[in-house]
Amino acid sequence: MSRHSIENPMGMSRREFVRTAALAGAGLLATGPSWAQDLQGAPAKSGGSSANDLRIAIIGAGSQGRFLMTQTLKIPGLRYVAVCDAWPYHQRYGANILKKYDQIVNVYDDYREMLSKEKDLDAVIVATPDWMHAEHANACLNAGAHVYCEKEMSNTVEGARSMVETARKTGKLLQIGHQRRSSPRYWHSIKMIDKDKVLGRITHCYGQWNRAQLLEQGWPKGEEMADDALKRFGYDNMDQFRNWRWYRRFSGGPLADLGSHQIDIFNWILKATPTAVLGSGGLDYYTEQTGRDWYDNAMTIYEYRTALGPVRAFYQVLNTTSYGGFYEQFMGDQGTLQISDDGKTGYVFREVTAKRREWEDEADKIEKLGRDAIELKIGETLASDGKKDPEGQKLLAESMKDSRLLHLENFFRTVRGEDKLNCPAEVGYETAVTVLKANRAIDDGVRVTFESSEFTC
């Protein structure tokens, strides 16, 4: 590769420059998240209770709900008092996990009964199918609890708006489960883009979530819910109940289910909301799945007008090939960042025509796509004496955690008044509008425009 002159616009010494660039990249300068300055120690397995424990409950002990449950068990100072789930099988499943940690809970199938009997709940985790998020989150907020609600915030814009309004009216916290917002890997990348300007001007983005098959959820023989119970909760049969993702009544489709995480990152990194979207999609491959009505593949192009100029962002979900997995890519005139919440993918490809940065020579390189790429190395920061920065090393430990644990930690620290939400209701709302309107573009086969006023409520 050719060498270019060293860019050092601030006239710093080489060592100072390396340190500043590294710190900025690691999210340790003033504008980073509070955990960058005030990191907690390693999570502890929960044990006995204390009077200061936050009293929490979960609605929806399905696969994601149980994952969140096991993550919260690593956060000190939380005590589950109730599990609510429509399905007796999942009620038992969830309550038994908690029992192993000496957390004996009351079990409910109806959230109304739970909220009327469980007084003084500090917080509720909502991990039900998307179509119930607004009803469940609003009821909990109105009952005086803070809420961590899974994405997609709602399968309708109206539902998402009602959640923002209820959070404002009650003064309670509402965090939406876009966990990348709490990931040091993403903070690290944003600092590299904004402060170190390693990508130059971003002109295009790309994101994908490719997998080889539809996510199919079954149920153990003999654990089927009775027809009247299914009807009481709004489902006609067990397939709707378990595979709600593939029905328009219950879900915003694959762009909401998978894409919302990544399209949220487009908005976040570009510091903008889109001005238009066009798309194409269909239920083309899994045609034998009668009754299901969401696309099995969708492709969209978003148009943005950012402070630095126009950007086009392509996003796709495929359910017939796992090629490339899931990641996001930001392409600028000086370089490209590829990153994923898979915990492994994180590289910067610098253009050979870009002005060489001094720290590039010291950065670890790996070969990707036949080229040298700078690996994202969170915590590999050098202090001015040339040693690794201790704060950076703590950040490195944080970056090893699952981003959902980090997002929950951010929520519970905020409940205790020690932090601020990384994905409050207003951010979830912007993402919901961005994603749900793309479905209209696909359905109607048109380029749909956004008014900037649509993103606020």
Ligand X SMILES: NC(=O)c1ccc[n+]([C@@H]2O[C@H](COP(=O)([O-])OP(=O)(O)OC[C@H]3O[C@@H](n4cnc5c(N)ncnc54)[C@H](O)[C@@H]3O)[C@@H](O)[C@H]2O)c1
CA 313 to centroid of chain Cα atoms: 18
Kindly state whether residue 411 participates in binding ligand X, applying the rule CB under 6 A: no
Least spacing, CB of residue 307 vs ligand X, in Å? 29
Contact region with ligand X (CB under 6 A), list: 70-78, 121-129, 326-334, 423-431: 121-129
Least spacing, CB of residue 406 vs ligand X, in Å? 12
Kindly state whether residue 86 participates in binding ligand X, applying the rule CB under 6 A: yes
Q: Tokens 């001007």, residue? A: 201
Element at 174 (helix H, strand E): strand 174-176
Kindly state whether residue 267 participates in binding ligand X, applying the rule CB under 6 A: no
Contact region with ligand X (CB under 6 A), list: 11-19, 56-64, 277-285, 393-401: 56-64
Kindly state whether residue 428 participates in binding ligand X, applying the rule CB under 6 A: no
Among 27, 32, 33, 60, binds ligand X (CB under 6 A): 60
Q: What tokens were used for 236?
A: 């006609």
Kindly state whether residue 130 participates in binding ligand X, applying the rule CB under 6 A: yes
Among 26, 59, 313, 432, binds ligand X (CB under 6 A): 59
Kindly state whether residue 207 participates in binding ligand X, applying the rule CB under 6 A: no
| Residue 22 dihedral angles phi and psi, to the nearest 5° | -70, -40
Least spacing, CB of residue 130 vs ligand X, in Å? 5
- Burial of 283 from C-beta contacts in 10 A (0-12 / 13-18 / 19+): middle
From the CB of residue 425, how many other CB atoms can be counted at a distance below 10 Å? Answer: 28
Kindly state whether residue 137 participates in binding ligand X, applying the rule CB under 6 A: no
> Among residues 340, 327, 343, which one has the least CA distance to residue 399?
343
Rounded Cα distance between 76 and 78, Å, is 6
Closer of 63 and 96 to ligand X (Cβ): 63
Reported as half-sphere exposure (CB side, CA atoms, 13 A), residue 309 has a value of 7
Kindly state whether residue 132 participates in binding ligand X, applying the rule CB under 6 A: yes
The full DSSP string for 274-323 is -SEEEEEEE--S-TT-TT--S-SEEEEEEEEEETTEEEEEEEEEESS--T
Contact region with ligand X (CB under 6 A), list: 29-37, 146-154, 278-286, 390-398: 146-154
Among 35, 87, 347, 455, binds ligand X (CB under 6 A): 87
Rounded Cα distance between 277 and 444, Å, is 12
Kindly state whether residue 253 participates in binding ligand X, applying the rule CB under 6 A: no
Closer of 62 and 428 to ligand X (Cβ): 62
Contact track, ligand X, 223-242, x by CB under 6 A: ----------x---------
Kindly state whether residue 63 participates in binding ligand X, applying the rule CB under 6 A: yes
Helix, strand or coil, per DSSP, at residue 184: helix
Least spacing, CB of residue 239 vs ligand X, in Å? 12
From the CB of residue 248, how many other CB atoms can be counted at a distance below 10 Å? Answer: 14
Kindly state whether residue 285 participates in binding ligand X, applying the rule CB under 6 A: no
Kindly state whether residue 128 participates in binding ligand X, applying the rule CB under 6 A: yes
Q: Tokens 């090393």, residue? A: 393
Closer of 27 and 65 to ligand X (Cβ): 65
Rounded Cα distance between 423 and 268, Å, is 11
Rounded Cα distance between 158 and 130, Å, is 13
**Contact set with ligand X (CB under 6 A):** 59-65, 84-87, 90, 127-130, 132, 150-152, 177, 179, 217, 233, 257
